[in-house]
Amino acid sequence: MVLTLILIGAVAAVYATACAALMMRLGITFRQALSYLPLKLLYRIDDRAVRIARKSEAPVVYVISHQSRLDAALMLSLLPDDTLHILDEDSAKSAWLEPWRELARTIAFNTEHVFVSRRLVRVLKRKGRIAVYMPEDVEPDVRSFRLYRAVSRIALQGEARVVPIFIDGARHLPFSRIDEATAPRRWFPRLRIGMLEPLTIPELVSRAGAAQPTASGALFDRLAEARSTTNLAGRTLFQAIVEAAGRFGADREIVEDVISGSLSYRRMLMATRVLASRLARTTAPGEAVGLLLPNSNGIAIALLGVHSAGRVAAMINYTSGPANVTSAIRTAMIRTIVSSHAFVEKAGLADIIEAAKAGGARILWLEELREGTSRLDKLAAFFLWRRPVGPQAADAPALVMFTSGSEHAPKAVVLSHQNVLTNAMQVEARLAIGPRDFVMNVLPVFHAFGLLGGLILPLLAGVKTLLYPSPLHFKLIPQLAGKKRPTVLFSTDTFLSAYAKAAGDQDFACLRMAVAGAEPLLAETRRIWMGRFGTRLFEGYGMTEAAPVLSLNSATHEREGSVGRLLPGVRARLEPIEGIDEGGRLWVTGPNVMMGYMSADRPGVIQRLEEGWHDTGDIVSFDREGFVTIKGRAKRFAKIAGEMVSLGAIEMLVHALWPEDKHAIVAVPDRRRGERIVLVTTAEQADANELRRRGKEAGMTELAIPQDIVKIEEIPIHATGKTDYAATRQIAIDRLGHATAA
């Protein structure tokens, strides 16, 4: 009996000591520490960010993303004890929550009437604190979004700061409020509490810069920003995908190609371990390793293998020509390239391999690696697939990608692990995508859009992805979609238009959405896909330098003709342009914006951005709710007789006039006016008089109407689907002759 009492006393003393330590570290009361310690131990909670909430000066509104029934217990234990918690009816009545409800004031409100009361404003004006639990909806319905309007209004009237709170891992608890098919359950997931610095609603609105969202939009984006910065914080791509394997199941099939079939997380990461071990022996930490592979299971394995080894993956655009490949290899100082004999032979890339060798790279063939793998290597991979082979650092370079070069020579863009992971989470915070989806990716992964949307995001979100090697198979891709039944497609307007022409009415009926980027989405393309397949097309905007997405339309935040609102955490400013009355040249900054460029004159050296701001080179405008409209590339404006003319706007006019054909507007030199505008088109019926008439109806000046029409069989495009304006412009110059265009 005495021994029992001694043991009980010892346990109580240890428990009290641990509670005292929590009190000192977090600033909570002893009663709060008593209730919080069991949760801390069970879920191994990372609570370092709690100090932000504790130090926030009143009045303050804590806005919590409500994912599970445990959220209230955690917040009652950690937020200041004078906080008024506004609980949903379930949390207000649950018997098990009673010990935690005793820690602070709580009130239950019906969500229909919660924020019409003036009581909350009075609490804030008395230097009070309130905690509001917002529905965890990536795409909130109209009713849910009313809460954002109400909370932002209360914060404004109460002159309160807002602290967004997100509990990473809570959605996977057994008592999650989210559908199990979207968030698989785990008994004891590790939790991480994320919070952002307190800001008032006016500060949130002004912080976005030129975008200037509404108060409710700014609040919604701030909570989404907390989510995107808390999820996967401090991890590398390899570590984040290993964590996804644990969350969604190591045996879940996650990638598939048309040759090899499907791979589970486990099998993919076992193969990754084998490749990483080889790279660790033959390359140096932090070295750039080139990947010259098609959309296949092999590219997923190679990408993760490079990152597991602690190296940087350089994505080689094998369609850019031998000269560009040699330049890319020298610029990024690539000494090793991972490729495949079968792919090189089938795609006829012998000249690209020779160009790579001329640049100083040696080739590591996957077939030879497979044959040279020993039983010991396989055994190590079986047991150690979760562990990286080399050093891991979230802020280190992860990718070297080369811009498409639609108007100039490609640039080498350096992205960190956090750039890429943050952008994936920013997109996930705007798109409702989850394990029930099935992605079909036809965009090449050497392009940032194809890599993030079609490979990295699905791997992180537990979404199986089908990797197809070429987007140019216009007849085969619809047939494959009809057979495999994907629900999400990432593509471009050019490809979407071509697929729709070749598809049967049922081939894409399985798609619930397609995300379009890289070029403007035409209204005709949107109409065809909705009319024939019932598929919504969401247009986005971005660039390689932004990893790559900057803005995106979604189900509840959509405006046709725009490219959506900026993603959470992205800030913008506009520089005025002479001759442009509405909008300006867009500069952006944010956690997804690149580390910097590498250039041929300083190979291997990252040239950092000045104060983190990047000049996009695009002319844009923002409306009153923050939706972005692209006016055109700065380089896609022509100066005709002193007047600025948007080539993109003219191109949209021509597409509306002859929607069945492909068109490109280019500017060529002109002796008299400086530049002249030329229409290059596949439309045999294209007529200058009809174009002039339609232009006048649209209010365009005479200077903006193309005076010359060049008819060709096919508009040059890059492998990414973008129009190759450099090649198109050269065609126009060659056809018109130097006498006219000189």
Residues 509, 71: Cα–Cα separation, whole Å:
39
Residues 526, 493: Cα–Cα separation, whole Å:
9
Other C-beta atoms closer than 10 Å to the C-beta of 82 total 11
DSSP string, 634-693: GGGEEEETTEEEEHHHHHHHHHHHSTTS-EEEEEEEETTTEEEEEEEES-TT--HHHHHH
- Positive or negative torsion for Cα 349, 354, 358, 363: positive
Residues 539, 430: Cα–Cα separation, whole Å:
12
Catalytic-labelled residue, pool 66, 172, 614, 663: 66
**Secondary structure element (H or E) that encloses residue 527, with its range:** helix 523-533
- Count of helix runs (H) and strand runs (E) in the chain: 27, 33
The encoded tokens of residue 44 equal 């191994």
Is 66 one of the catalytic residues? yes
DSSP string, 354-370: HHHHHTT-EEEEHHHHH
Specify the DSSP class assigned to residue 185: -
> Three-state SS for 309?
coil
> Three-state SS for 31?
helix
DSSP string, 445-477: TTSHHHHIIIIIHHHHHT-EEEE-S-TT-TTHH
Residues 653, 649: Cα–Cα separation, whole Å:
6
Half-sphere exposure of 363 (CA within 13 A, CB side): 19
| 278-281, Cβ contacts within 8 angstroms, sequence gap of 24 or more | 278/364, 278/369, 279/305, 279/306, 279/309, 279/311, 279/336, 279/364, 279/389, 280/309, 280/310, 280/389, 280/390
The encoded tokens of residue 131 equal 């905690």
Q: Do the strands 105-108 and 83-87 form a parallel or antiparallel pair, or are they unpaired?
A: parallel
Residues 501, 507: Cα–Cα separation, whole Å:
11
Residues 403, 36: Cα–Cα separation, whole Å:
50
**Secondary structure element (H or E) that encloses residue 278, with its range:** helix 265-282
Catalytic residues: 66
